[in-house]
Amino acid sequence: MRTILNVIWLIFAGIWLAAGYALAGVICCILIITIPFGIASFRIAGYALWPFGRTVVRDPEAGIMSTIGNVIWVVVAGIWLAIGHVLTSIPLFVSIIGIPLGIANLKMIPISLLPLGAKVVDIDR
């Protein structure tokens, strides 16, 4: 079932969301000081491409620098990405097949707001 949902997700939302996160990652990596944001953006892009069967967990060893980075991220990009997830989930909720996709889209909001200090892991682990 996860594979079917991931394929449907890939067609309707995954490619576009992953492309947006990858573009943000490239822009962040061009500027030397924002490379940690670029790496986090690439990590989210992989999660946005194939989300079913994976989840986000917080790293308890993340320090104060990830907290400061997350505050900067929320102000600069996080709020806009969260709004994008909400707006893309609305059309997904219209059909019965799209309801799990809309829920998955809303589950990505926390990592889009606070990407530093988070890890994407398989649910089976």
Tell whether the torsion through CA atoms of 115, 40, 28 and 13 is positive or negative: negative
Work out the end-to-end distance of the chain between its first and last CA atoms, rounded to an integer number of angstroms: 18
Angle at 111 between CA 56 and CA 35, to 5 degrees: 110
CA distance 15 to 20: 9
Q: Which residues contact 51 (CB under 8 A, 6 or more apart)?
A: 6, 9, 14, 104, 107, 108
Beta bridge partners of 120: 56
pLDDT 10s digits, 74-117 = 988 889 889 989 998 999 899 888 898 999 999 999 999 999 98
pLDDT 10s digits, 111-122 = 999 999 888 888
Q: What is the pTM of this model?
A: 0.83
Number of other CB atoms surrounding residue 125 within 10 Å: 7
pLDDT 10s digits, 5-55 = 889 889 888 898 899 899 989 988 998 888 989 999 999 999 999 898 888
C-alpha separations of 28 from 7, 42, 45, 110, 111 in Å: 29, 10, 14, 20, 17
